[in-house]
A = this chain, B = another copy of it.
Amino acid sequence: MPKAATRQHIIEAADRLFYQQGFEHTSFADIAENVGISRGNFYHHFKSKDDILDAVIAQRLTNTRDMLDQWEAAEDGPEERIRRFIQILIVNQTKILRYGCPVGTLCGELAKLGHPAQAEARELFTLFRTWLGYQFTRLVGPDQADELAMHLLARSQGVATLANAFHDEFFVDQEVKQLCEWLSTQVAKANLEHPTVT
Contact = CB atoms under 8 A, between A and B. Distances in A.
Contacts of A171: 150
Interface residues on A, range: 35 or more
Given A100-B111, A158-B158, A147 B164 contact: no
Nearest to A146: B171
A140 B69 CA distance: 44
Nearest to A97: B111
B125 A166 contact: yes
Contacts of A153: 158, 162
Interface in A13-45: 20-22, 24-25
Residue picked from A24, A107, A150, A161, most chain B C-beta under 10 Å: A161
Nearest to A162: B154
Contact of A166 (B98, B122, B147): B122
Nearest to A110: B165
Interface string A162-178: 10111000010011001
Given A107-B164, A162-B154, A99 B125 contact: no
Given A99-B111, A108-B105, A154 B158 contact: yes
B162 A161 contact: no
A191 to B, nearest CB: 20
B113 A22 contact: yes
Please give me the 5 A-B residue pairs with the lowest Cβ-Cβ distance, nearest first. A158-B158, A154-B158, A22-B112, A157-B158, A157-B161
20 contacts: A21-B114, A22-B109, A22-B112, A24-B25, A100-B111, A100-B112, A104-B165, A105-B112, A107-B161, A108-B108, A108-B161, A108-B165, A111-B164, A151-B178, A154-B158, A155-B158, A156-B158, A157-B161, A157-B162, A161-B161
